[in-house]
Amino acid sequence: MKYEGKVWKFGDDVDTDLIIPSRYCNVSDGALLAKHAFADGKPEFASTVSPGDVIVGGRNFGCGSSREHAPIAIKASGVSVIIAKSFARIFYRNAFNIGLPLLESVDAAEELQEGDRLSVDLIHGKIENLTRGKSYGARPIPPFMERLINAGGLVEHIRKEKLQKRA
């Protein structure tokens, strides 16, 4: 599970209303939500994010409401992984439930800059800044969360388990 992409940098306490403003939460389609991701904070995000890009945040990323619209909008925009100092617990679980990987790394979150190119190895918790030639460690994701990511989220994971039991 390796990803490579450009950094989109955010600060502390990025709440779900900044990720996807509530006025766009009347739909649950990921593609429609992605068109409005960060509309009020980084309006250029939705039109210029590329598949594989990486969001880097500070402390308490994803705080606010418990709605799943926020991680759905991010995943549907093509972001491969979010790295932050810490995550709001509900956002953390919602992200993994839809198959969006997260890594916690204080050093990476502090030093990475907007536009840096990264290579991220989820399994080993290794973040390489290809632009600046630096490496950072992160707590690797737990094996169960790895299975969720591989399956495409919790619902797909359960479907696959049921199919295996029937076989």
Task: Split the chain (167 residues) into runs of 10 and give each run's mean pLDDT.
Answer: 95 97 91 96 96 98 92 97 97 95 97 98 95 95 88 87 80
Count structural domains, the chain: 1
Residue 91 sits at φ, ψ, to 5 deg, of -60, -40
CA distance 132 to 52: 19
Q: What is the CATH number of the domain that holds 150?
A: 3.20.19.10
- CB atoms under 10 Å from CB of 141, counted, come to 21
Full residue range of the structural domain in which residue 84 is found:
2-166
| pTM, 2 dp | 0.93
What confidence score (pLDDT) does residue 97 get?
Answer: 94
